[in-house]
Structures are given as structure tokens and as C-alpha cells.
């Protein structure tokens, strides 16, 4: 494990990831007609943790298709309660509190996202006074926060037309619509992996390898008209010498700084990743911490 410490599930890991988008919408807000999410005070762009984890889940489904332990618990069109039913059916369990620990262990072994992200699996309700088929609550070892753009982003609305009518009785041959984009944004996200919690859910080195590979590919297989130019620009993993960590996470993640390139004129808008300079202050990283640069 010395050459690949970032794959060691018994150590604590903190990581920083950078991604950008050009002429697209990285994460639309349904409460704002699909406009890119922003901080209203600073106008910096935001991407939710849910959006990033959805891309990881989708990538795990592709990379792990047909492999044991890579099923996805949270997926479109599948109810959570039906996933719990699978555990009870597979293990031939009766509803009741005594069955919950066994069902929970099966869920962790079967579903990658339960094992890594955790889940609240107590959503079932019993029928006719019978106990519900639930699997309790699992605290996941991997936590990802909101990603925030380095600079404010300019949200734009573009009018579009459609030559086909929605209804046969529509008066106009052409219908109007809109698309929301930002010209450019570089986003920074942070994640944390807890080895003690991973020990409870059964995370393996293969799970970590799958995680980091999913990060490198998640934008490549999530293309859409609003995300044609979205790319991972950096993935930096700080590995501690033990399970609990030898330095606060923020000290490590703060060693990576992103600043405008000095060659860029102050009055020129930032429109490309090359307009930035990424700096790592490796002298500020404690000797016991290992930095692995997957991308960047």
C-alpha cells in the first residue's frame, strides 16, 4: 500500500477537486426556472453535493456493471422501500427489530452508495400493525460539500425557438423557450473520508480505486446540451498516516490556491482554465501526510 496510499481504506483522506464549465449550466436550480445556482451575495456559482454524488453514482453503475457490491441504492425510478425488500427477501428475514442489523449489513455489502455515502433506510411503514421492513441508518464515511466557483459567474438566459408545435391546436407554428448558461466558471470542491466509519460499512481498497476513477470520468459520461464542455481540472488527495488524522483537514486543503494568471489583463473577463494558476504549498503539508495528485 506504500505506493498507493490513497487506496488504503484504513487511513483518513481529505481531498480537493476542481472542475470547470464553458458556455453551460453545471447545476440548474429548479426553484429558479433552472438557472445556474449562485450565492446571491457574492454571485459565485454553486454546485450541490447531490449533483456531484449523482454523477459518481452514475459512473459506478457503468464501471461496476454486473460486479457484486456495485449496485446503486438511490436511482431514478426505483423506490427506496423496494430496495429494503430485496434485503429481506434475499436473507429470508421476517419484519422486526432483530432483522434490522442483518438487513443493514446486506445493504452495505450490496450497494456501493450505501457503503460509501451512507443512507437513511428507515422509510418503510408497516401494514396492519406489522413491523416495517427497514434497514436502519448508516453514516457514510465519504462526505462531499457544495462546490463554489473561484470568481463570480455571469448567468445568462438565451431565447430559443422550436419549429414543432406542442399541441395540434396551437396557433403559432414556432414556439419560444429559453436556456440558461454561464460563459465560464472554475469550481472548487472538498471531500472527506473517515476510516473508522468506513470500517463499519466495509469499504475496501477496490471501492476507493473505483471512487477516484469515477471522479476522473464522471463528467466524460454526463454530457448534455448544457454540459458539453465540463471537465475535471484537478483531484488532490491528502492521506493521513492513520485512521483518525494527524492534521486538521482545512490546513491541508488550504495549501491548494487558485489565482488569476498574472499574464491575464485585469480588465479581461476570465474565460478559460488557462487564465488561472494553481499553486500547491507543499512545504505547509506535514511530513506524515502524503499528497497524491490524480489530476492536475
pLDDT at 2: 46
For residue 249, what pLDDT band results from cuts at 50, 70 and 90? very high
Taking all residues of the chain, what is their mean pLDDT, rounded to a whole number? 92
pTM of the complete model beyond 0.85 = yes
For residue 97, what pLDDT band results from cuts at 50, 70 and 90? confident
- Provide the 10 A C-beta neighbour count for residue 107: 23
> Average pLDDT, stretch 232-255?
98
The span from the CA of 126 to the CA of 132, in Å, is 4
Distances (CA, A) of 130 to 6, 85, 280: 46, 14, 58
Record the cell numbers describing residue 13, joined without a space.
483522506
Say which DSSP state 38 is in.
B
User: Nearest to residue 20, comparing CAs of 165, 284, 228?
Assistant: 228
Would you list the domain boundaries of the chain?
5-48+146-295, 87-139
For residue 1, what pLDDT band results from cuts at 50, 70 and 90? very low
pLDDT in tens, 103-160: 999 999 999 999 999 999 987 765 555 667 899 999 999 999 999 999 999 999 998 8
> Do 52 and 211 form a contact (C-beta atoms < 8 A)?
no
The span from the CA of 16 to the CA of 254, in Å, is 9
Task: Please list the alpha-helical segments (H only) found in the chain.
Answer: 49-63, 80-91, 100-110, 112-117, 195-201, 205-217, 249-253
User: Nearest to residue 215, comparing CAs of 17, 62, 45?
Assistant: 17
The span from the CA of 195 to the CA of 190, in Å, is 17
Say which DSSP state 246 is in.
S
For residue 170, what pLDDT band results from cuts at 50, 70 and 90? low
Q: At what angle do helices 100-110 and 80-91 cross, to 10 degrees?
A: 110
> Do 47 and 36 form a contact (C-beta atoms < 8 A)?
no
Greater confidence (263 vs 251) lies with 251
pLDDT at 161: 83
pLDDT in tens, 171-203: 666 777 789 999 999 999 999 999 999 999 999
pLDDT at 57: 98
B/e letters for 7-25, b = 16+ CB within 10 Å, e = fewer, are bbbebbbbbbbbbbbbebb
> Do 21 and 229 form a contact (C-beta atoms < 8 A)?
yes
B/e letters for 266-286, b = 16+ CB within 10 Å, e = fewer, are eeeebeebebbeeebeeeebe
pLDDT at 138: 97
SS3 46: strand
Amino acid at each position: 500500500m506504500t505506493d498507493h496510499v490513497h487506496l488504503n481504506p484504513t487511513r483518513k483522506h481529505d481531498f480537493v477537486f476542481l472542475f470547470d464549465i464553458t458556455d453551460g449550466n453545471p447545476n440548474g436550480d429548479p426553484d429558479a426556472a433552472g438557472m445556474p445556482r449562485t450565492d446571491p451575495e457574492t454571485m459565485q456559482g454553486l454546485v450541490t453535493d447531490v449533483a456531484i454524488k449523482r454523477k459518481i453514482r452514475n459512473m459506478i453503475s457503468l464501471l461496476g456493471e454486473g460486479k457484486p457490491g456495485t449496485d446503486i441504492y438511490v436511482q431514478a425510478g426505483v423506490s427506496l422501500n423496494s430496495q429494503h425488500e430485496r434485503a429481506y427477501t434475499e436473507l429470508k428475514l421476517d419484519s422486526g427489530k432483530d432483522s434490522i442489523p442483518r438487513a443493514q449489513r446486506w445493504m452495505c455489502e450490496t450497494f456501493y452508495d450505501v457503503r460509501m455515502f451512507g443512507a437513511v433506510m428507515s422509510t418503510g411503514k408497516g401494514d396492519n400493525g406489522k413491523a416495517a421492513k427497514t434497514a436502519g441508518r448508516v453514516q457514510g464515511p465519504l462526505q462531499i460539500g457544495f462546490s463554489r466557483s473561484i470568481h463570480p459567474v455571469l448567468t445568462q438566459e438565451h431565447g430559443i425557438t422550436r419549429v414543432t408545435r406542442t399541441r395540434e391546436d396551437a396557433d403559432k407554428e414556432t414556439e419560444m423557450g429559453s436556456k440558461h448558461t454561464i460563459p465560464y466558471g472554475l469550481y472548487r470542491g472538498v471531500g472527506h473520508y473517515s476510516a473508522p466509519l468506513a470500517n463499519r460499512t466495509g469499504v475496501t481498497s477496490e471501492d476507493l480505486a473505483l471512487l477516484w476513477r469515477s471522479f476522473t470520468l464522471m463528467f466524460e459520461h454526463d454530457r448534455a446540451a448544457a454540459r458539453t464542455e465540463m471537465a475535471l481540472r484537478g483531484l488532490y488527495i491528502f492521506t493521513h498516516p492513520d485512521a483518525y488524522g494527524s492534521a486538521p483537514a482545512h490546513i491541508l486543503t488550504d495549501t491548494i490556491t487558485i489565482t488569476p494568471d498574472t499574464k491575464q489583463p485585469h480588465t479581461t473577463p476570465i474565460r478559460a482554465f488557462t487564465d488561472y494558476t494553481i499553486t500547491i504549498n507543499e512545504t505547509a503539508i506535514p511530513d506524515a501526510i502524503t499528497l497524491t495528485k490524480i489530476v492536475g
